[in-house]
Chains A and B, each alone.
With several copies, the nearest count.
Chain A
Amino acid sequence: MKEIVFAGFGGQGVLTSGLIVSEIAVSNGMNATWIPSYGSAMRGGTANCTVKFGNGRIFNPAQEKPDVLLAMNTPSFNKFIDTVAPNGTVIVNSDMVEYDPKVREDVKYVDVPCQTLAKEINHSKGANIIMTGVILKSIGEFTDQQAIDGMNAMFDKKGKGKFKEMNTKALKIGLTQI
């Protein structure tokens, strides 16, 4: 079973990113859970969700020890870095996050300038999709095609199929970052 935490500002698309991963897992016959954090402070602040997936039963859907952390901004990095499983992966939005890798020396860091990359392909809202690709690659559980199909199926269901091409492009960029 894999556990991934997606964290960032509200608006950075981390909840959607989590949803894409969970959908890919389910469309490939696995179990998955997606759970957002929500608390008393609603306005402003950070958003995050935890996705777990795998072939067995998923007991606790809540965040425990993520194998992968996506940190889209500095507060998120700081909030979750201690929870990452030993030998886990931390995927960092290097356009925004400054960090000291010494805080955890037992994890692998992957720096991705996802906002810059997104701008480059003229898909300003695609940074989260790029990062989804990075995550999927880093997990290595799904083929690129499975990833692309799963993502597009999800957006289709949400009635957001029209961005298919751009999203596919963004995901592919992510898939090639590691």
Chain B
Amino acid sequence: MGEMIKGNHAIAEAAVRFGARLYAGYPITPSTEIMEYISWRMPEVGGAFVQAESEIAGINMVIGGAACGVRSFTASSGPGISLKQEGITQLYDEELAAVIINVVRYGNGIGTLYSAQCDYLRETRGGGNGDYRPIVLCPSSIQEAVDLLGVAFDLSEKYRTVAVLMTEGALGQMMEPCDLPEFIEPKRYPWGFDGKYSYKKVGIFERDSMKEAVAMNEKNAVIKENEQRWADVDVEDADYVFVSFGLPGRSTEGAVEELRKAGHKVGIIRPITAWPFPEKAFEKVNPNVKGFISVEANATGQMVEDVALTVKKKFSDNKPVYSLAYVYGIPEMEKIQKDYEKIAAGEIKEVF
């Protein structure tokens, strides 16, 4: 078991060890410690750190680094991530590999500093123009954040796409023991610029959008088939299955353990990839399950849409889907248990 480390510091150190060699970003709470750590750490390993004049400049510097085939990443929160949407859709469009870390904070507009999961729909559907879908990974512990960061880099390069590590304010700010990865040798991918035009490209006005749409759908299908990730507990015989990710997911895992102890047949699917959504996880679920319960830290219930879509797809009959949206923070295990009881008693109605 590793040493106590702050989530944001663990992510920053792990990125360096995974061979990332360009970071460009702009400070914003609760993500800033990633940048602060990188600001001295990156030069130590000969990598590039740029404190960008804005989040937009930051993501575009990442585009520059990624265009050269160098592991490049940035981190931000709330409005800072909103500003990066144009850059993210371009990364996808240009098939450049890069990692975006969203340390999610609560709120519309300028927002708050609370930990939350209110960017789910935006991250999974893409807030920029077009049809692109980034890979979205959601850790529930610092160790998982570090491990998934490695996955994020690998997948983004394997599929030439953007990967988002969608973590939460609380996970960035908290500490727990974590084993950091070994150092790997930084690479420069052959599809990156080398000044010699080794990798040919057509100009924007010469592209065939119809063909590219087909290729994009194929790529997405492959990712959906191969890269669904999740954890599950006790879903095979469950009357009700919770679906919850990140820190609320971790808390829900605890609530499930407690509920089971109290004799309730409940289980949980904890999505680790939010896109692709782990549809396969639902195949193991008791076919007679009475309902699914989405637990989230946002105001409106966002992931619940994916839960409902998946339930519709995977079950021949129409299973009810419930939404527990706790706005911000990490829901208390006891609160989840109590709300579960209300659902089982019919006091909380399904939303889909």
Q: Which residues of A contact B (CB under 8 A)?
A: 19, 22-23, 26, 29, 31-36, 38-42, 58-62, 64-65, 157
Residue in B closest to A60 when the chains form the complex, CB atoms: B251
CB of B174 within 8 A of CB of A36, answer yes
Q: Is B82 an interface residue (CB 8 A)?
A: no
Q: Which residues 173-205 in B have Cβ within 8 Å of A in the complex?
A: 173-177, 204-205
* Given known contacts A19-B4, A26-B4, A39-B112, A60 and B177 CB-to-CB distance under 8 angstroms: no
> Chain A at the B interface: mostly helix, strand, loop or mixed?
loop
- A residues less than 8 Å from B176 (CB atoms): 31-34, 58, 61
Segment from B40-48, B54-62, B327-335 that makes contact with A: B327-335
* Given known contacts A26-B1, A40-B113, A61 and B333 CB-to-CB distance under 8 angstroms: no
Q: Is B254 an interface residue (CB 8 A)?
A: yes
Most buried by B among A23, A34, A60, A157: A60
Q: Is B317 an interface residue (CB 8 A)?
A: no
CB of A64 within 8 A of CB of B113, answer no
CB of A41 within 8 A of CB of B205, answer yes
CB of A34 within 8 A of CB of B4, answer yes
- A residues less than 8 Å from B255 (CB atoms): 59
- Picked from A23, A29, A40, A59, the residue with its CB within 8 Å of the CB of B254 is A59
The proximity string for B residues 232-266 relative to A, scoring 1 for CB distances below 8 Å and 0 otherwise, is 00000000000000010011011101000000000
- Picked from B30, B112, B204, B333, the residue with its CB within 8 Å of the CB of A60 is B333
CB of B247 within 8 A of CB of A61, answer yes
Give CA–CA (A61, B144) in the complex, Å: 15
CB of A40 within 8 A of CB of B112, answer yes
- A residues less than 8 Å from B177 (CB atoms): 26, 31-32
Give CA–CA (A22, B4) in the complex, Å: 8
Chain B, interface size: which category? Answer: 20 to 34
CB of A38 within 8 A of CB of B173, answer yes
CB of A64 within 8 A of CB of B4, answer no
- Picked from B112, B205, B330, the residue with its CB within 8 Å of the CB of A62 is B330
* Given known contacts A32-B177, A39-B112, A61 and B254 CB-to-CB distance under 8 angstroms: no
Residue in B closest to A157 when the chains form the complex, CB atoms: B3
* Given known contacts A33-B174, A39-B114, A40-B204, A59 and B3 CB-to-CB distance under 8 angstroms: no
- B residues less than 8 Å from A40 (CB atoms): 112-114, 204-205, 207
If A34-B176, A40-B113 are given as contacts, then 19 extra A-B residue pairs at C-beta distance below 8 Å, sorted by A number, are A22-B4, A26-B1, A29-B1, A32-B176, A33-B176, A35-B170, A38-B30, A39-B112, A59-B250, A59-B251, A59-B257, A59-B333, A60-B250, A60-B332, A60-B333, A61-B170, A62-B170, A62-B247, A64-B334
- B residues less than 8 Å from A58 (CB atoms): 176
Give CA–CA (A26, B250) in the complex, Å: 20
Give the Cβ gap from A142 to chain B, nearest Cβ, in Å: 16
CB of A61 within 8 A of CB of B174, answer yes
Give CA–CA (A22, B257) in the complex, Å: 24
Give the Cβ gap from A16 to chain B, nearest Cβ, in Å: 12
Most buried by B among A33, A41, A65: A33
Give CA–CA (A26, B2) in the complex, Å: 9
Give the Cβ gap from A38 to chain B, nearest Cβ, in Å: 6
CB of B113 within 8 A of CB of A34, answer no
CB of A34 within 8 A of CB of B205, answer no
CB of B247 within 8 A of CB of A64, answer no
Q: Which residues 119-151 in B have Cβ within 8 Å of A in the complex?
A: none
Give CA–CA (A108, B250) in the complex, Å: 31
- B residues less than 8 Å from A42 (CB atoms): 113
Give the Cβ gap from A19 to chain B, nearest Cβ, in Å: 7
Residue in A closest to B203 when the chains form the complex, CB atoms: A40
CB of A38 within 8 A of CB of B329, answer no
Give CA–CA (A39, B331) in the complex, Å: 16
- B residues less than 8 Å from A65 (CB atoms): 334
Give CA–CA (A40, B107) in the complex, Å: 11
CB of A32 within 8 A of CB of B332, answer no
Give CA–CA (A173, B153) in the complex, Å: 50
- B residues less than 8 Å from A23 (CB atoms): 4
The proximity string for B residues 326-352 relative to A, scoring 1 for CB distances below 8 Å and 0 otherwise, is 000111111000000000000000000
* Given known contacts A23-B4, A41-B205, A62-B330, A36 and B254 CB-to-CB distance under 8 angstroms: no
Give the Cβ gap from A167 to chain B, nearest Cβ, in Å: 18
- A residues less than 8 Å from B204 (CB atoms): 40
Residue in B closest to A39 when the chains form the complex, CB atoms: B113
- Picked from A26, A29, A39, A60, the residue with its CB within 8 Å of the CB of B3 is A26
Give the Cβ gap from B118 to chain A, nearest Cβ, in Å: 15
Give the Cβ gap from B279 to chain A, nearest Cβ, in Å: 26
